[in-house]
Amino acid sequence: MRALIAAFIWCLAGAALAASAPEPAPAPLPPAVAHGSDPVPLYPFARSWIDQQAGRRIDSVEADAATLPWVRRRAEQADRVEGRALWIQFDVATGEPDQWFVEVGAAGVDRVQLFYRNPAGAWVVQEAGDAQPIFSWPVPGRYPTFALAQNDPRTVRYWMRIENTRLDFAAPLTIYRERTLLAKRDREQFLLGAYFGLATLLALASVVSGIVFRDRAFLAFAAYITLVGCSQLARAGLGAEHVWPDWPYWNDLAALAWPGLPVAAALWFVRMVTEPARLSRGLDAGVFGLVAAVLLAVAADAILQSRNTMVLVLALSGLSLAALVAMVVWGWVDGRDPDLRWIAYGFLPLVMLALFPLARAFNLIPVSLLTRYAVFFGTALQMPILYYALQRRSFRRREGQLRAAALSHTDALTGLPHRRTLLERLETALARARNNRQPFALMGVRIANMGAIAEEFGHDAVEKALVVAASHLRRCITDIDMAARVGENEFALLLEGPIDGPRAVSRAQQVVASGLRQTEALPAALTLKFHVTVALLPHGDLDGVATLQWVLDGLDQFPADARKLIKPMNF
């Protein structure tokens, strides 16, 4: 986190130095030489001019080029183009007979046109941008891309005209060889596909969890992920390329969703998990009002589509992020919900990374890798952490309900099934054994030294002994067997698999040995002395109640100082 803060401050300082640096005097620019496989950034070879009326045509601009106030472009330069037209001029010499392209490295640009004269002197015009469907672009893709003159030995002069509203134009211009551009696009599609695949999977899982567990927090999280994914589809250009390629108007509207709708959904989600109404109803109403204000600002921006409405959305989004962090930190410090620390782990890195694109939108820092992909990085880390936190929170809340529901068929102290549950299972096992003629076994187990434990160590030690005994018995059975508490200090083990006398005695010896092991849960040197009766069933015409009572009555036949701790009942 310190590294992120340092990087953010460094970007702000760099922007301030760049703004205060004097503009160099215009000078002739060398042509960009396209060769090799490395991308060629265009800013050292390009100059720009803003047409205030946005009405000049290419012939007029070319004719008056020598008298226009061109300015040499800087790295990561930002231009306010709203209501005007930005012209960029550059020369390119292609030293190798391969196809080369110039890419405008940003999605969401309204209109980009590229002009150059072919060897016959006629204009070649290419156009891309959100104002037209992506299939009509000269090179369809996430970003506006144009083919340069091919197999032309001349140094060709290119003119680029850009229209853009609301946000400043700050996209880098880069020349790529065809194979380099294709390889770059393949890598981007793979990484972005993995990101959106993860988002889709977690959104669907959250919807299912919300419906199954009746937990609205999961549904709010699913809405948040969905809105983040849709806004990122628009910002990355993938929506226009793959999801709505024929709807340029919808592409504009989808781009307006960022960052207002995802931030509003995040704030609503955090409100649900932190429950600020516990502290103050006024605070809860304030959070609700902030969510409503963000949504109203997004609606106004969608209708008016002006710089002022965009600034309002950005300002309210920044305020919402601050409120979100405050609620998460407050809930964590409050300590009422231990799982809120995981919510904080998920949100704090995203909030720190989101400062970069917000600062870029306000023109505080230049375009960089972090301004373009910070939200991708942050949400890719955040989504699985938040889903894990919600699962922990949901399980903890359901745990009490599950325990309460289990009391109808389990013992409250040991967690083992009680007598009624065992008898139901025993009746079924007896009927099955008589039909299949395959015997099974029933053990009665008593803690023989319980009186001595109570006398020497007290009531707490007695309860601990019962819990430890239940733990030992669980480890002595298989998945198809059952251990149950059937008396004050008596237990029963139902061994349902086909079994004979020697194997039944071996299992009984395992039970006795488990009680003699020392455990940290009991006072030092205290072990449990088990008396065990073993019966092979069915035994005559005895039903479940009579069979269990017969096995437990056998425990009363052990003398107090018995040395043989296992008693076969009928073999």
The pLDDT value recorded for residue 407 is: 60
List the alpha helices (DSSP H) in 335-368: 340-361
DSSP-derived letter for residue 242 is I
Indicate the domain borders of the chain.
29-177, 182-401, 419-568
Strands, DSSP E only, in 458-545? 482-485, 490-495, 530-537
Euclidean distance between CA atoms 353 and 377, whole angstroms = 8
What type of residue is 277? A
Q: How many CB atoms lie within 10 A of CB 15?
A: 18
444 pairs with which residues across the strands?
492, 533
The pLDDT value recorded for residue 15 is: 44
Query: Is-above-0.75 flag for pTM?
Result: no
- 34: three-class secondary structure by DSSP: strand
- 419: three-class secondary structure by DSSP: helix
Euclidean distance between CA atoms 134 and 300, whole angstroms = 27
CA distances from 406 to 282, 448, 567 (A): 40, 28, 33
The pLDDT value recorded for residue 430 is: 93
- 53: three-class secondary structure by DSSP: coil
Pick the CATH number of 29-177 from 2.60.40.2380, 3.40.462.10, 3.40.50.920, 2.30.30.60: 2.60.40.2380
What type of residue is 177? R
Token pair 């194979």 in the structure block, residue: 179
The pLDDT value recorded for residue 89 is: 97
Token pair 């009991």 in the structure block, residue: 522
Strands, DSSP E only, in 388-469? 440-447
Token pair 């007029």 in the structure block, residue: 60
Q: Are 426 and 547 spatial neighbours (Cβ–Cβ below 8 Å)?
A: yes
Euclidean distance between CA atoms 316 and 294, whole angstroms = 6
- Averages of pLDDT over each 10 residues, the chain, 571 residues: 46 43 56 88 95 93 95 88 94 86 90 95 94 88 93 91 87 93 92 92 94 91 92 82 75 72 91 80 86 91 82 88 84 76 86 80 74 85 92 79 64 88 93 90 94 88 92 90 93 91 93 89 86 94 93 91 90 87
CATH 3.30.70.270 fits 419-568, yes or no: yes
